[in-house]
Chains A and B, each alone.
Chain A
Amino acid sequence: MRDLFRKREFNLFIFILFIILGVSLRTPSFLYVNNFVDIFNDTAILSMVAIGQLMIIVTGGIDLSVGSSIALSGMSVALLNQYHPGIPIFMIIFISIAIGLLLGSINGLLVSQAKIPPIITTLGTMSIYRGLVFVLCKGTWVSAHEMTEAFRGFPRSSFLGISSLISISILIVILFFIFLNLTRTGREIYGVGSNKIASQYVGINLKKIQYIVFTLCGGITGLAGFLWVARYAAAQSETAIGFEFQTIAACVIGGVSITGGSGTISGVVLGAFFMGIVYNALTMINVSPFWQMAIQGFIILFAIIINTVIDKRNQQLMLRKRSFNE
């Protein structure tokens, strides 16, 4: 089984290399280090939130509220920063994560305790959180000059030569890689996704796992909310609208099974990176931004079709191998 998964990520990796090669043949400046730093900066938030989405999809759920909770936590800390500029930046980050955790745990409670299917829960909370953003800001923006310098500058501030945006996302990737692969709870998440009933028979607490994944995803969106608002130096009621679909797309491209049970962090990060590369490449080769969405849709369809075809072929190969052995 492990070979099969490795193969999928490897395919995506090769595909990314081909795109890089193709684009750089046409526009050599694509290969500049600065450009890659840009791409990493652009995909940092996406890959973080996509990891949250990954955990939920692996358990067989889906979170449509990530865009709205990014907006809500981002707007809350932006307003906090505007009216109380004295609060230190680490406190702001802490509050932002706390708000995200709260929003996520509401999702988690509704899914695990009230047993509402995740897609409906998050469909509901998506509208509720988005509406609350509007109530908070009363339809106005918090723009760059209303934020303190420390707030705006945080994502760009560099640490060991890397922007803190990138280093935070790398930290998140490593943390969750360890969590999903090396801890008991992490493995239980996969267990729940592969077979809900069997996992309960072996003593996995389904409710606990569901609550944990939604809360953790919420925490990530909280952090992402602050980073988003600070990076774009603007908080408004439309912040991160439609972002949930991008995170799901990154997962799907990265080979996460939408029905749950399988998916890896490396796949998702590659998926997010792939989307970032494509967007960047499109601008580099002067394709009108109006093409972005169509190409994104085409890539999603293409990726899932390829993934399914490869999966089917692998399954057939495995069956054949088994019949040989017998």
Chain B
Amino acid sequence: MNKENGVLDIKKIKKISSLNIVWQWEVILLFIFITVVIINSNLSPYFLDYTNLMNTTFNFIEKAIIALPMVFVIICGDIDISVASIIALSSVFMGMASQAGVNTFGLVVIGLFSGSMAGFLNGFIITKLGIPAIAVTLGSMSLFRGITYVILGDKAYTKYPISFAYFGQGYIGNTMIPFELVLFFILAIIFGIILHKTTIGRKVFAIGNNFTAARFSGIPVNRIRLIIFTVTGLCSGLASILLTSRIGSTRPNIASGWELEIITTVVLGGVAITGGKGNIIGVIISIFIIGYLKFGMGLINIPGKVMTIIIGLLLILAIMLPQLIERLKPKNSFGKVKK
């Protein structure tokens, strides 16, 4: 982020950036979030209800859990469009195992394992052969989803152990806080610390900013990317456990179209699709913006297809906004200093 300012006087830079804090992406997102909440609570009296607000998180937390590793993937300059298919694949494997009488613990292990193996396969092809991630995950997206169709056809798995339902439907103790939501926040903290406070995180940014330079500075570029893709698979497996447990059945078309929603969320959260720039906090706010926006629209009976128009517009406008701001921003004495 500071690569352009490196040579300039640090103190002056700090002064400018504190003035510009209003223009920071996360602050803008927070404004959007507050706007969404205000509009929604004015439109429907049922919006600002504790139980409702908690329960509606069930609808987007599974996507949010994949959005976290997706931040790493996109910051690295890659993309993974096979995540929704990995959900389906893991879900089918869990369904098969459950049909065979495997217990809840076994199902969780199978879900996580099959997810991470699928992610590993992506990462392996991408890094070993040097093929762009979008091409590889495009293929594996069809392949994984296709395998679920081969196994399931037009049938569905519906037999799951009762204790398995806790992951997707359970609450923490007697509170109304869903287990999924707590799990998400724990993961978000872990991912946030790794991205922003460890050398691994710095390396991820370095890879995204300049792949070749990162490699020449001794960063094990391909190993890190392989790990990131495997973790993305692992988190997709986890999301698959939550989703399967929540809806209690597996069909081949489970979670279809999620990959694009997840990427939308991440990009709206301020992660540059070209890599090298991004922030976990922004993505978390963006997850809740989209989640509560959809919930609010649902309350006033807007059909799902119309919601997609609004989400699409939001995505495009949100990306255009920084450029508009850039034009409105007062010019400083350095001429061209970007954050």
Contact = CB atoms under 8 A, between A and B. Distances in A.
Contact of B149 (A62, A121, A128, A293): A293
Contacts of A135: 305-306, 309
B308 A120 contact: no
B138 A300 contact: yes
A128 B312 contact: yes
A123 B130 contact: no
B152 to A, nearest CB: 8
B141 interface: yes
Contacts, number: 141
A117 B146 CA distance: 30
Task: Give chain A's interface secondary structure class.
Answer: helix
Given A291-B150, A304-B139, A258 B134 contact: yes
Interface residues of A, number: 47
B146 A293 contact: yes
A259 B145 CA distance: 25
B298 interface: no
B130 A293 contact: no
Interface in A68-100: none
B273 A119 contact: yes
Interface string B114-142: 00000000000100011110111011111
Interface in B127-171: 129-132, 134-136, 138-147, 149-150, 153-154
Interface residues of B, number: 44
B303 interface: yes
Interface stretch (B57-65, B104-112, B314-322, B331-339): B314-322
Interface stretch (A108-116, A150-158, A318-326): A108-116
A305 B305 CA distance: 37
Contacts of A121: 316
A305 B125 contact: yes
B24 interface: no
Nearest to A135: B306
Contacts of A292: 146, 149
Interface of A: 62, 64, 110, 114-117, 119-121, 123-128, 130-135, 139, 237, 245, 248-249, 252, 258-259, 288, 290-301, 304-305, 308-309
